[in-house]
Chains A and B, each alone.
Chain A
Amino acid sequence: MHRLGGVGLAAFERQQESQRSFATLSSELSKAQVDHLQSQLTQFRTALSHFAKTHRKSIRSDPKFRHAFQQMCSSIGVDTLVGWREGGWWAEMVGMGDWQYELGVQIVDVCVSTREQNGGVIGMGDLVGMVSRLRGVDSGVITEEDVIRSIKTLQPLGAGYEVMDVGGKKMVRSVVKELDEDQGIILAEAEVEGGRIVEEMLVTRRGWMFERARAGLENMVMRDGLCWVDDQDEEHGRAYWVPSAMQWDKSAYSLPI
Chain B
Amino acid sequence: MELTTRTTPSDFLLPSIHSAPPFFTEQPAPSTRTLFIDNWSRLILAYARHRRLFTLRVEDAEVAGGDWDEILRNERINRRVLPSYLSSLIAALVANNVAVYEPAKQTRSVLLFWRLPEEWADVLHSWATASGQLNTILTFYEIIDPPVPSPLSGLPIPLLRRAIAVLTRSGRAQIIGVADGEGVRLFAGTK
Residues of A whose CB lies within 8 Å of any CB of B are: 116-117, 194, 196, 221-222, 225, 228-234, 239, 241, 243, 246-257
Contacts and interface: CB of A to CB of B under 8 A. Distances in A.
Contacts of A254: 15-17, 39, 42
Contacts of A229: 22, 25, 27-28
Interface stretch (B29-37, B97-105, B164-172, B176-184): B29-37
Interface string B49-92: 00000000000000000000000000000111000000000000
Contact of B5 (A234, A251, A257): A251
B146 to A, nearest CB: 31
B20 interface: yes
A94 B17 CA distance: 42
B2 interface: yes
A217 to B, nearest CB: 12
The 7 closest A-B pairs by CB, nearest first: A228-B22, A230-B22, A249-B4, A230-B21, A255-B42, A231-B25, A252-B5
Interface of B: 1-5, 13, 15-17, 20-25, 27-29, 31-32, 34-35, 38-39, 42-43, 46, 78-80
Identify whether the interface residues of A are mostly helix, strand, loop, or mixed. Answer: mixed
A222 B22 CA distance: 15
Given A117-B35, A225-B31, A232-B24, 7 more contacts: A116-B32, A221-B27, A229-B27, A232-B25, A243-B20, A246-B3, A250-B16
A194 B1 CA distance: 6
Contacts of B80: 232
A76 B164 CA distance: 77
